[in-house]
Chains A and B, each alone.
Chain A
Amino acid sequence: EDKVVQSPLSLVVHEGDTVTLNCSYEVTNFRSLLWYKQEKKAPTFLFMLTSSGIEKKSGRLSSILDKKELFSILNITATQTGDSAIYLCAVLKTSYDKVIFGPGTSLSVIP
């Protein structure tokens, strides 16, 4: 059975801290791993990772995939209160564009 696991499920940090969110997966026919940020409503796309070892960066956010260990991390440096959200990890399968989501990590950044 395909599954995506995220840890921690919730996290509280102070502004300026650096956080690392974890995502592991057991999925057949893996194509890509996706990270989303969900604030109040719909998730917004952050990164798509297809190849191992290549870091993707966008401002203070970065992510990397390890296809051997079936693992990805999302790093956020110098956190701000606006980073408070649920971060979803998802795996895109090669067949039928099916996407399997993890439960999400709820991040709260306090001043």
Chain B
Amino acid sequence: DGGITQSPKYLFRKEGQNVTLSCEQNLNHDAMYWYRQDPGQGLRLIYYSQIVNDFQKGDIAEGYSVSREKKESFPLTVTSAQKNPTAFYLCASSSAAGVSNEQFFGPGTRLTVL
């Protein structure tokens, strides 16, 4: 079955630690996205990538980093510089930059900083 997988489902981290969230897709999609969801604020874009080895900052990129070494994978690292990392993180992909008509979402990772 084609789709997007995110792991882990739940993640706990101590303050001051970096943590990496995994996102993998087997849809052969060019574009991939990371969103953060906080209660009452909808989805906010962190980073997006239109093609392998290229990515762009979204609206709230500070304290986060990404890489896109493979088409299928777009991992997100939440660094210790992110002041309020506790949130629900969603990864998405779409078929081709500029012509896609919808985004497919993964199941999400809920990150809690203790």
Contacts and interface: CB of A to CB of B under 8 A. Distances in A.
- 8 shortest A-B CB distances, which residue pairs? A42-B105, A101-B43, A103-B42, A101-B42, A97-B97, A45-B102, A97-B31, A48-B101
Interface string A42-57: 1111001000000000
B48 to A, nearest CB: 7
B98 A42 contact: no
* Size class of the contact patch on chain B: 20 to 34
A104 B102 contact: no
Given A42-B107, A42-B108, A94 B98 contact: yes
* Size class of the contact patch on chain A: 20 to 34
A65 B98 CA distance: 21
Interface of A: 4, 9, 32, 34, 41-45, 48, 88, 90, 92, 94-104
Given A88-B43, A97-B97, A43 B105 contact: yes
A42 B80 CA distance: 26
Contacts of A45: 102-104
Nearest to A47: B102
B42 A32 contact: no
Contacts of A34: 102-103
9 contacts: A41-B108, A42-B108, A94-B98, A97-B31, A97-B48, A97-B100, A98-B45, A100-B45, A102-B42
Contact of A96 (B56, B105, B107): B56
A98 B48 contact: yes
